[in-house]
Amino acid sequence: MRVGGLNNADKIISLYNKKKSVDNKEQNHKGNGKDSIQISSLGKSLSAYSTNGELVNSSEKIEKIKEEISKGIYNRDSKLVADSILRAIKEQK
């Protein structure tokens, strides 16, 4: 019968230590658990355009709608509003 000496124990300990160091590295890569994003200046400038390529000024549009609401003249086609609501509900499912 052949019995290995301490060499086998050394191999086992080295494998254990190697696994331990890999686990520590993985924990270090996790960071603080918070995600963050940054939008580039190009992305910010592209957000001003609509899908058809026209420049959209959201603040002017919002102010116009607020003014119409305050004057009581803000009217939209109720059928279009209902269609949009139904489409949004269907997309959620």
Confirm whether 77 is domain-assigned.
Answer: yes
Number of independent structural domains in the chain: 1
The pLDDT score that the predictor gives to residue 35 is 82
> Cα–Cα–Cα angle for 55, 61, 63, nearest 5°?
145
Confirm whether 42 is domain-assigned.
Answer: no
Confirm whether 90 is domain-assigned.
Answer: yes
> Domain span at residue 80?
55-93
Confidence check: pLDDT of 39 > 80: yes
Considering only CA atoms, which of 55, 33, 35 is closest in space to residue 46? 55
Question: What SS3 class is residue 55?
Answer: strand
Confirm whether 46 is domain-assigned.
Answer: no
Q: What is the arithmetic mean of pLDDT over 13-28?
A: 66
8-state DSSP, 49 = B
